[in-house]
Amino acid sequence: MRTDDLVAALAANISPIDPTQADRRFVAKLMAGALSALVAMLALMGPRADLTAAAVLPMFWMKVLFPAILAIAAFVALRRLSHPGMRLGRASAGAVLPLTLVWTVAGLVLLSAPASERPALLLGETWTVCPFGIALLSVPALGLALWATRELAPTRPSLAGATAGLFAGAVGAFAYALHCPETQAPFLAVWYVLGMLIPTGAGAVLGRRLLHW
C-alpha cells in the first residue's frame, strides 16, 4: 500500500472528538467529590440533632456559606489551573474574600467580648476534633479532584494540587458544618480554616508527585 493510500485509509476512520468531553469528566469527578463528603458525614457522624432549629440562625448560614463559597472559588481556580495558559483571574479573590470576611467578623467578636469569654468563643467545645473531622471528610474529594486534574494538563502541579486540596477541604468543611454544633465566628476562623489547610497541604505534596505530565 502506498503512503498516500495508507494516510487516506487512516483518515477515513477518524471520529470527531467532543472538545467538551474532558471538561464534563472534570466537573463530574469534582461533583462526585462534593457528594462523597456529604455521604461520609451522614455515614460517619450524622447531622446535628437540632439542624432544623439551627437553620434559622444567621451564624449557621455564615458557617455553611463560608466553605461553600471557598469550594466554588477553588473549583473555578482548579479548572483554570488544569488548562495550560489559562490565568486564575478573579478565582483567587473568590478564595481570599470569604477568609477575610470570617477573620474580620471573628476579630470584632473577640474584641467586643469580655476577656473571660474569649477562650470559649475561640475553642468552643469541639476544637480538638473539628479540624480532623473536616480533613477526614475531605479525603474522597481530594482523591477525585487530583484524578480529575491529572486527566487534563496542569503546568503548575504543586499549586494545582494545593487548589485540589482546598476544594476538598472546603467541601469537607461544608459537610462537617451540618454536623458541627459550633456557631461562633472565632471558632470558624481558626479551626475550620485549619481543617481546610490540612488537605490543602496534602494536595500540594501529592500534586508535586502526581500531576506532572
The upper half-sphere exposure of residue 186, i.e. CA atoms within 13 Å in the direction of its Cβ, equals: 16
Tell me, what's the pLDDT at 154?
86
The upper half-sphere exposure of residue 137, i.e. CA atoms within 13 Å in the direction of its Cβ, equals: 33
What are the grid coordinates assigned to 195, written together? Answer: 481543617
Cell 494538563 belongs to 153
How is 73-108 classified by DSSP, letter by letter?
HHHHHHHHHTSTT---TTHHHHHHHHHHHHHHHHHH
By the 8 A CB rule, do 67 and 171 touch? yes
Tell me, what's the pLDDT at 14?
53
Mean pLDDT by 10 residues, the chain (213 residues): 53 55 88 96 94 89 94 93 78 83 94 93 94 97 94 89 96 96 94 97 93 79
Tell me, what's the pLDDT at 37?
96
Tell me, what's the pLDDT at 89?
72
Tell me, what's the pLDDT at 205?
95
Tell me, what's the pLDDT at 84?
80
Tell me, what's the pLDDT at 4?
56
Tell me, what's the pLDDT at 3?
60
Tell me, what's the pLDDT at 83?
83
d(CA 213, CA 45): 38
Tell me, what's the pLDDT at 181?
93
d(CA 202, CA 197): 8
By the 8 A CB rule, do 48 and 178 touch? yes
